[in-house]
Amino acid sequence: MTSNPFGRDITADDIIDTLSFFDGWEERYKYIIDLGKELPPMDEGKKDDAHLVRGCQSQVWIDTRLDAGRMWFETDSDAFIVKGLLAVVMAAYNGKPPVELLAFDIEDYFRRLDLLSHLSQTRGNGLRAMVKRIRSLAEEAAAGAA
């Protein structure tokens, strides 16, 4: 999972900066889809009900492990745009300690990207379901570390 460039080589600030260069949302969507292609492949054995995120229109799977106090995620989806959205979220969350992940203002991040206003309601709900699942995993990790 540490081969995942998101959170290390590609940060939330990088994505905010890059998206600001594009004039329209068609170009921004293409960039987000391209980000999704940079996610490392997820182990097929983890694409099961235990890792499935409920509340998403597409199938989304999330797994995590704690290594040296940092959370590393493995994610996938059956939809290109959703993989891109996962990459956007991973840029903000991957490789962070659970407490830092929980303190990150994801709503401000989405606002700075102007993302939610350009997603359908079902995609927006799915994005929130992904964030909710990740935050739940971080809460469990933080409680285990306490």
Q: Could you give the C-alpha distances from 56 to 71, 88, 128, in angstroms and in order?
A: 22, 16, 9
Q: At what angle do helices 25-37 and 80-93 cross, to 10 degrees?
A: 80
Q: What SS3 state is found at 49?
A: coil
Active site residue 56: yes
Please give the DSSP secondary-structure letter assigned to residue 146: -
Catalytic residue among 39, 56, 113, 134: 56
Active site members: 56
